[in-house]
Structure 1
Amino acid sequence: MAANYHGLLSEYRAVEQPVPEPLDPREWRAIVCAYAAPNMEDPQAYMDWLLASMNRDIRVIFLTPPHAVSAGAPPAVRTRVDMILERFGLAYTQEQTTAGNLLAYGTTGPHMQYERPLPAVPPLFDGYVPTKPQRHTPWLTVRNTSSPSGNAEGIAVAVSPAGGLALPEYVYWIDPADYRHKWYLDPFAFLSASLGLEGMPALTPTTLNGKRIAMSHIDADGFSGFTNVDKKSNCATVMMEEVLKKIDFPVTASVIQAEVDPELSGNVRLMETARAIFALPNVEPASHSFTHPFYWDANDKQKIALFRDKLGLEQYGIPVAGYSFDPKRETVDSCQWITDHLTPADKPCRMMLWSGSCDPKPFVMKHVYDAGLLNINGGDTIYDQHNDSLTGVSPLFKFVGPYVQVFTGQANENILTNLWTGPYHAYRYITRTMERTGSPRRLMPIDAYYHFYSAEYDASLQAVKDVYAWIATQDVAKVFTSAYIPMVMDFTQATVERDGAADVISGYGTCLSVRYEDTSTLPDLARCTNVLGYEVQPQGLFVHLKRGAGQARIVRAASPDNRQPYLQSATGWVDDFSHSADTIRLRYEGFGNGTVTLAGLPAGRAAIVSHNGTARSLITSLTGTLTIGPVRSGTLGIHLK
Structure 2
Amino acid sequence: MAGRYAGVVVWPDRSGERQGLKKWTLRRIREGVPIVFLDRFGFDAEDGFFRQIGLELNTIARLTPPARIVSIDPRIGFEQQPLPQMENFLPMKLKEGTSLLRLASASGDISDAAAITPWGGYVLYPFGVTRLFNDQNVWVVNPFRFFKDALRLPDMPVPDTTTENGVRLLLSHVDGDGFESMAEWPGGGLAADELRRRILEKYRIPVTVSVITGVVAPNGLYPGKAPRLEQAARDIFSLPWVEAASHSFSHPFRWKPEQVDNGMVAESWHTMKIPGYNFNLEAEISGSLEYINNNLLPAGKKVKLFQWTGNCLPGEEAIRLTYQAGLLNINGGDTMITDSNRSLTRVAPLGISRNGWFQVFAPNQNENVYTNLWTDTFYGYRRVLETYRLTEFPRRLKPVNIYYHIYSASKTASLKSLLHVHDWALEQRFFSIYTSEYIEKVLDFNRTVVARDGSGWLVRNSGKLKEFRIPQTAGFPELTADGRVAGFSDHGDSRYIHLLPGGEARIHLKATLPTTPYLAQAGGTLESLERSGPGMKIRLRGYTPFSVGIANADRCVIRDEKLGISLAGTEMSVLELPEGTHALDVVCH
What is residue 71 of structure 2 aligned with on the other side?
A: 107
The CA deviation string for residues 214-256 of structure 1, in whole angstroms up to 9 with x for no partner, is: 1111100001012213555121111111111111322111100
| One-letter code aligned to 1:233 | G
What is residue 18 of structure 1 aligned with on the other side?
A: none
- Tell me if the contact between 2:462 and 2:502 (Cα under 8 Å) persists in the aligned partners: no
Which of 554, 579, 584 aligns to 2:536? It is 584
What is residue 17 of structure 1 aligned with on the other side?
A: none
Which of 86, 106, 129 aligns to 1:172? It is 129
Aligned residue pairs, count: 585
Taking the aligned partners of 2:439 and 2:512, their CA distance within structure 1 comes to 36
| One-letter code aligned to 2:57 | Y
Shift of 1:162: 1.7
What is residue 48 of structure 2 aligned with on the other side?
A: 79
What is residue 570 of structure 1 aligned with on the other side?
A: 522
1:437 aligns with 2:437: no
Shift of 1:314: 2.0
Shift of 1:119: 2.2
The CA deviation string for residues 530-580 of structure 1, in whole angstroms up to 9 with x for no partner, is: 22211122241001122223x2111101015x3333221111211221132
Change beyond 3 A, Cα 1:123–1:517: farther
1:315 aligns with 2:270: yes
- Tell me if the contact between 2:379 and 2:414 (Cα under 8 Å) persists in the aligned partners: yes
Change beyond 3 A, Cα 1:98–1:260: farther
Which of 409, 432, 449 aligns to 1:478? It is 432
Structure 1 segments unaligned to the other structure (5+ residues): 1-22, 72-76
- Tell me if the contact between 2:174 and 2:405 (Cα under 8 Å) persists in the aligned partners: yes
| One-letter code aligned to 1:205 | T
Taking the aligned partners of 1:98 and 1:287, their CA distance within structure 2 comes to 59
1:386 aligns with 2:340: yes
1:163 aligns with 2:137: no
1:596 aligns with 2:552: no
Taking the aligned partners of 1:36 and 1:96, their CA distance within structure 2 comes to 25
Taking the aligned partners of 2:262 and 2:155, their CA distance within structure 1 comes to 48
Taking the aligned partners of 2:109 and 2:394, their CA distance within structure 1 comes to 39
What is residue 29 of structure 2 aligned with on the other side?
A: 54
- Tell me if the contact between 1:48 and 1:80 (Cα under 8 Å) persists in the aligned partners: no
What is residue 302 of structure 1 aligned with on the other side?
A: 260
1:615 aligns with 2:572: no
- Tell me if the contact between 2:50 and 2:57 (Cα under 8 Å) persists in the aligned partners: no
* TM, length-normalised to structure 2: 0.94
- Tell me if the contact between 2:531 and 2:537 (Cα under 8 Å) persists in the aligned partners: yes
* TM, length-normalised to structure 1: 0.86
Shift of 1:477: 0.7
The CA deviation string for residues 3-62 of structure 1, in whole angstroms up to 9 with x for no partner, is: xxxxxxxxxxxxxxxxxxxx2x233122222224546424xx322222112222211111
Taking the aligned partners of 2:458 and 2:71, their CA distance within structure 1 comes to 39
Shift of 1:197: 2.1
- Tell me if the contact between 1:304 and 1:315 (Cα under 8 Å) persists in the aligned partners: no
What is residue 153 of structure 2 aligned with on the other side?
A: 197
Report the secondary structure of 2:427's partner residue. Answer: coil
Shift of 1:333: 2.1
| One-letter code aligned to 1:553 | R
Deviates more, 1:271-280 or 1:92-101: 92-101
Report the secondary structure of 2:561's partner residue. Answer: strand
Shift of 1:80: 3.7
Taking the aligned partners of 2:262 and 2:144, their CA distance within structure 1 comes to 37
Q: How does 1:209-220 map to 2 (within 5 A)?
A: 209-220=165-176
Change beyond 3 A, Cα 1:483–1:210: same
What is residue 7 of structure 2 aligned with on the other side?
A: 30
Taking the aligned partners of 1:598 and 1:208, their CA distance within structure 2 comes to 15
Change beyond 3 A, Cα 1:81–1:277: same
- Tell me if the contact between 2:50 and 2:56 (Cα under 8 Å) persists in the aligned partners: no
Q: How does 1:360-379 map to 2 (within 5 A)?
A: 360-379=314-333
| One-letter code aligned to 2:243 | E
Taking the aligned partners of 2:251 and 2:76, their CA distance within structure 1 comes to 44
Structure 2 segments unaligned to the other structure (5+ residues): none
Shift of 1:639: 4.7
The CA deviation string for residues 36-91 of structure 1, in whole angstroms up to 9 with x for no partner, is: 4546424xx3222221122222111111333x6136xxxxx7634432x22xxx32
What is residue 116 of structure 1 aligned with on the other side?
A: 80
| One-letter code aligned to 2:508 | V
1:286 aligns with 2:218: no
Which of 569, 573, 582 aligns to 1:626? It is 573
Shift of 1:508: 4.9
